Amino acid sequence: MLADSEYDSPGAYAAVNYDTWDQNNNIDSYSDLSYEQYSFTLGGTYNFTPAFYTTVEATYDIFESDEEYVYGDEDGDMLRGYVAIGYKF
């Protein structure tokens, strides 16, 4: 939708095409950002009986980068884990 003036409408209705061959051909050069990820996992299973068991696992992830992303420094770490109880029939 165009405005009544000689200029295009702003925002979502603007007649701007950002999907051109020149721009898509350079998509690899838009960002050279990279990071290193280190992941450490420790877990185990304990059998109460041959059919009844529990499983525990924890994973620690480290993300490192010496580059600035859009929201600043994205270095960090994460800890995740789970505990499960199972029964084999």
List, for residues 6-23, the tens digit of each pLDDT value.
555 555 555 555 566 666
For the cut 50, the answer to whether the pLDDT of residue 51 exceeds it is: yes
How far is the C-alpha of 11 from the C-alpha of 2, rounded, in Å? 11
Q: Where are the beta strands (DSSP E) in the chain?
A: 36-47, 52-64, 76-87
The better pLDDT of the pair 37, 22 is held by 37
The percent of residues in the chain predicted with pLDDT above 90, rounded, is 44
Q: Is residue 40 part of a domain?
A: yes
Q: Is residue 70 part of a domain?
A: yes
How far is the C-alpha of 2 from the C-alpha of 41, rounded, in Å? 57
For residue 80, the enclosing domain spans 32-87
Q: What's the structural domain count of the chain?
A: 1
Q: Is residue 78 part of a domain?
A: yes
Per the prediction, the chain carries an average pLDDT of 78
Q: Is residue 10 part of a domain?
A: no
Q: Is residue 17 part of a domain?
A: no
Q: How are the residues of the chain apportioned to helix, strand and coil, as percentages rounded to the nearest 5? A: 10, 45, 45
The percent of residues in the chain predicted with pLDDT above 70, rounded, is 58
Which pairs count as long-range contacts for 22-26, CB under 8 Å and 24+ apart, including other chains? none
